[in-house]
Amino acid sequence: MAQEHAHSSAVERLLNCEVPLRAQYIRVSFREITRISNHSLASTTHAMDVGASTPSLWAFEEREKLLEFHERVPGARMHASFIRPGGVAQDLPLGLCRDIDSSTQQFASRIDESEEMSTGNRIWKQRLVDIGTVTAQQAKDWGFSGVMLRGPGVCWDSRRAAPYDVHDQSDPDVPVGTRGDRYDRYCIRIEEMRQSVRIIVQCPNQMPSGMIKADDRKLCPPSRCRMKLSMESLIHHFEPYTEGFSVPAPSTYTAVEAPKGEFGVFLVSNGSNRPYRRKIRAPGSAHSQGLDSMSKHHMPADVVTIIGTQDIVSGEVDR
Amino acid sequence: MDNQFIFKYSWETFPKKWVHKKERSEHGNRFDTNTDYLFQLLCFLKLHTYTRVQVLIDICGVDYPSRKRRFEVVYNLLSTRYNSRIRVQTSADEVTRISSVVSLFPSAGWSEREVWDMFGVSFINHPDLRRILTDYGFEGHPLRKDFPLSGYVEVRYDDPEKRVVSEPIEMTQEFRYFDFASPWEQRSDG
């Protein structure tokens, strides 16, 4: 969902479109749910690469609960096309906020259990401390972002630096490492999961009722029941779904703090309904480029785990 | 220091001949430069105390076939120190070579390879300029506007030869282009 958010933000920036407050809160809570599910996948598959197989089994159970929330709202577990230009696709169903709340209450103890297993573990520390160390200057040179940049101590988080949606309301702490090794990055991911839980708990309480899409009917189609009743709504439904909407001419680069790093979309429009050029800047491709320099003076077994700590997904490297 | 500070400061400080156009908008600030001054400009932006643009986020190319210098190479930069983003754009054609910024920003390595592979813009002093996303033995530069969507070759597994072979593409039906853009809508040229 972070990726959908990046593209939607780029389009909204070109259109100068205002997203309603309720939609912003929904986006933030789903972004943080995505962040937790990404970090639980990333840290624990990294653990599996190191050799610990249990954390991934536990974390995948937690991910199932989060993917169930994904499924309840837009209908698909993973490729939920939910965050759209102008807002979100549909409103939250009844009871979802209550279920998210009860799930997050027990999630913090799940994080504690996983941490109990790994963080103080002697073998874990031997495999992670002082391995894959990057200095702050190296991280900036190689174009790292997200946890890879915060590991060596560069306090950069797009949610704080350039707040979008309602991130400035929720005020999370940004965990930052000191040594820039894999152990720091692992601890940062765990702590980010806790901060995401904190945001998710705050969002339903602060969320106002209201519209979930921008009021501009040329941009956001109306709901289906309105479409079936009114001629104008039918036209407003037909037009975006066939022709799409036209986006004015300039270009923009918009980035969001995706769980893996900075996910950016460089969008060039020529005024028509299709983008002239859309380049996706995936964090994984910058991180994987640094693999060579990060693995110098380490052993072959460390290379696999350095790939894990960089949180690389080959799909975004290749695009 | 907000987003506009380093843009304004750098515009006032570096030689005016480096940049032939600047744009400042809520969509992002940008400088348009010549390929001759690109390296100097990025060097200035990276190293100068009041700009400190140390992160090269991305390099991308855009193809405008109607222009004389058809490729526009866009460098997206970030200053974590001053919390600013800035974009530097330069234009090139098929034969112009741009000086590589790998010595300044190692993250440019793969990004420049990608621009070379996808558009055919080559870079001087790049340590390893070869294809990165396309297949081995691929010919052509796929993201150019004159390269067809389906490509020129297709691959399939050939059972007699017991390997994957690459053959000219065979289209079972003509390429259908769905253009729903309304003829009444205003369009500006890209």
What tens digit of pLDDT does each residue of A170-195 get?
Answer: 777 888 888 888 899 999 999 999 99
Which pLDDT score, from 0 to 100, does residue B72 have?
Answer: 92
Return the ∠ at Cα A142 (arms to A136 and A144), rounded to 5°.
70
Q: How far is A127 from chain B (nearest CA, A)?
A: 27
Say if the Cβ atoms of A262 and B57 lie within 8 Å. yes
The mean pLDDT of B184-190, rounded to a whole number, is 52
Q: What is the largest CA-CA distance in chain B?
A: 68
Q: How far apart are CA B151 and CA A174, in angstroms?
A: 46
Which pLDDT score, from 0 to 100, does residue B2 have?
Answer: 56
pLDDT above 80: residue A168: no
User: For chain B, what are the domain ranges?
Assistant: 3-131
pLDDT above 50: residue A220: yes
**DSSP readout, A227-263?**
HTT-HHHHHHHHHHHHT-----S-EEEEEEEETTEEE
Which pLDDT score, from 0 to 100, does residue B83 have?
Answer: 86
Locate the chain A residue with the closest alpha carbon to B182.
A243
The mean pLDDT of A236-246, rounded to a whole number, is 81
pLDDT tens digit sequence for B53-111: 899 999 999 999 999 999 999 999 998 888 888 899 999 988 989 999 999 999 999 99
pLDDT tens digit sequence for B121-161: 999 999 988 888 888 888 889 999 988 888 888 888 888 88
Which pLDDT score, from 0 to 100, does residue A95 have?
Answer: 87
Say if the Cβ atoms of A268 and B63 lie within 8 Å. no
Which pLDDT score, from 0 to 100, does residue B190 have?
Answer: 38
Q: Residues of B with CB below 8 A from A242's CB?
A: 180
Residue B59 near residue B108, CB atoms below 8 Å? yes
Pick the CATH number of A1-16+19-213+249-318 from 3.30.70.2740, 1.10.620.20, 1.10.645.10, 3.90.550.40: 1.10.645.10
Q: How far is A308 from chain B (nearest CA, A)?
A: 19
Which strand (E) or helix (H) includes residue A137? helix A136-141
Q: Residues of B with CB below 8 A from A251's CB?
A: 27-28, 74
CA B156 from chain centre, in angstroms, equals 31
Burial class of residue B104 in the structure, from the number of CB atoms within 10 Å of its CB (0-12 exposed, 13-18 middle, 19+ buried): middle
How many beta-carbon pairs under 8 angstroms link A with B?
108
pLDDT above 60: residue B188: no
Q: Is residue A271 within 8 angstroms of chain B, CB to CB?
A: yes
Q: Residues of A with CB below 8 A from B190's CB?
A: 249, 268-271, 276
Say if the Cβ atoms of B27 and A251 lie within 8 Å. yes
3-state percent helix, strand, coil for chain B, nearest multiple of 5? 20, 30, 55
pLDDT above 70: residue B186: no
Q: Is residue A182 within 8 angstroms of chain B, CB to CB?
A: no
Which pLDDT score, from 0 to 100, does residue B1 have?
Answer: 44
pLDDT above 50: residue B189: no
pLDDT tens digit sequence for A77-98: 888 888 888 888 888 888 888 8
The radius of gyration computed from the CA coordinates of chain A, to the nearest angstrom, equals 21
User: Structure pTM?
Assistant: 0.88
pLDDT tens digit sequence for A123-149: 999 888 888 889 999 999 998 988 999
Which pLDDT score, from 0 to 100, does residue A97 have?
Answer: 87
Neighbour count for residue B182 (Cβ, 10 Å): 14
Topology of the domain covering B3-131: Beta Polymerase; domain 2 (3.30.460)
Best of A140, A270, A291 to disrupt the B interface by mutation (most B CBs within 10 Å)?
A140
Please name the amino acid found at residue B77: L
Q: What is the mean pLDDT of chain A?
A: 87
Copy the structure tokens of residue B131. 């294809």
The mean pLDDT of A274-290, rounded to a whole number, is 89
Q: Which of A266, A272, A289 sits opposite B76 (nearest CB)?
A: A266
Q: How far is A284 from chain B (nearest CA, A)?
A: 12
Copy the structure tokens of residue A160. 């704080």
The radius of gyration computed from the CA coordinates of chain B, to the nearest angstrom, equals 20
B178 confidence band (pLDDT: 50, 70, 90)? confident
Closest listed residue to residue A290, CA positions, set B152, B179, B106: B106
pLDDT tens digit sequence for B44-60: 999 988 888 899 999 99
Say if the Cβ atoms of A286 and B87 lie within 8 Å. no
User: For chain A, what are the domain ranges?
Assistant: 1-16+19-213+249-318, 216-245
Which pLDDT score, from 0 to 100, does residue B61 have?
Answer: 92
Which pLDDT score, from 0 to 100, does residue B63 have?
Answer: 92
Q: Is residue B16 within 8 angstroms of chain A, CB to CB?
A: no
